[in-house]
Amino acid sequence: MLSRRSRPLSAALTAVALVTLAGCGASEVVATDQPGTSGEGRTEYPVVLENCGHEVSIESAPQRVVSLDQNSTEILLSLGLEDRMVGTASWTDPVLEPLAAANDQVPRLADNAPTYEVLLGADPDLVTASFGRHFTEGGVVTRDRLDETAVRSYLSPTDCDNGTSVNGGGTRTTPLTPDAVYDEIRQLAEIFDVQARGEVLVSALQARADAALEGLDLDGRTMAFWFADTKTPYVAGRFGSAALLASTTGATNVFADLDDDWPAVSWESVTDADPQILVLGDLQRDRFPGDRLDDKIDFLTNDPLTRTLDAVRNERFIALHGAEMNPSIRFVDALEKIKAWHVEHEEEL
């Protein structure tokens, strides 16, 4: 078995969590800037997981993990595991500010998905992903191929529905809940033998979510989420992460009749729905036309069709980072931003 490099949980970690809970703002997470795990709740290996239709057996705490998505990377960093990370990939936004120093220690293999050869060059013993498309034929590498080379793989529960990856070709049939994010944190904490850190992080996120939702009720006001692309906009469908933001804040998602998490629609369908509020993805990348917030607003206010929208005419825009619209620990940041916007604009609605 590989040697363990877990670090004992100290009082300083608890203090960090308490500071976060007492005065948390957007883009704050529990930092683990002090070494350790507690002597209680230690992981018993092997850890065997039924992970989205794929059995994973972890014989010892991984020492060389590659994360293929920003969402997964930020969980690993929040658990203080930067010393175990040998690569990250697929970024939409800058890393959370409290995690920046830790993230600087981790090689970025690619801004988007790396090739299999680049992944293999990092010599990982575990590969994590938030989206199952990485583990498909035509993606980075299949999970079976990783198994053949004795490299374990882990897919976020947020991308799994009835044992099938939503982004790997499946369709979500049940609404995503924050519990899937909490499950991911706890499972990764168990895999790496840092369970106490996982519980601190989950508790902090739950407290922030509760505080953000207290007194927040959009009372059925209609909302559309635009992630990217000015040609055929990707909007939030029925059951995904952005739909969760609408349902928990009391809003009505105007595209809740569409099954995909992020279906591509026409601008005519957007204008027909005429949402009262537009949630705009402020993506810090240039992969699709209109990734960035300013480009989205410029398009909306100048296009002959979209400038007629009620939300555009009244500038009812809520800006969220891409990572806040995806299933991740940043769903709490999204709730906090929606609440702040609602407090400021409540009398206008």
Domains and CATH numbers, the chain: 11-212 (3.40.50.1980), 217-348 (3.40.50.1980)
Any idea which residue has 């035509």 for tokens?
138
The span from the CA of 155 to the CA of 165, in Å, is 8
pTM tops 0.75, yes or no: yes
The two tokens of residue 92 are 């939409």
Tell which residue, 206, 290, 281, has the closest CA to residue 242. 281
Q: Can you tell me whether residue 1 is helix, strand or coil?
A: coil
Per-residue pLDDT of the chain (349 residues; tens, 9 = 90+): 223 233 333 333 433 343 343 334 444 444 444 434 444 579 999 999 999 999 999 999 999 999 999 999 999 999 999 999 999 999 999 999 999 999 999 999 999 999 999 999 999 999 999 999 999 999 999 999 999 999 999 999 999 999 999 999 999 999 999 999 999 999 999 999 999 999 999 999 999 999 999 999 999 999 999 999 999 999 999 999 999 999 999 999 999 999 999 999 999 999 999 999 999 999 988 888 999 999 999 999 999 999 999 999 999 999 999 999 999 999 999 999 999 999 999 888 7
* Residue 21, pLDDT score: 37
Name the strand (E) or helix (H) holding 49.
Answer: strand 47-51
The span from the CA of 233 to the CA of 278, in Å, is 13
- For residue 305, count other CB atoms closer than 10 A to its CB: 12
* Residue 323, pLDDT score: 94
The span from the CA of 115 to the CA of 134, in Å, is 10
- For residue 347, count other CB atoms closer than 10 A to its CB: 5
Angle between helices 241-249 and 331-345 (to 10 degrees): 40
* Residue 349, pLDDT score: 76
The two tokens of residue 240 are 């995904």
Tell which residue, 145, 166, 147, 141, has the closest CA to residue 156. 166
What Cα–Cα distance (Å) separates residue 91 from each residue in 96, 98, 107, 314? 12, 17, 13, 32
Tell which residue, 58, 3, 40, 20, has the closest CA to residue 196. 40
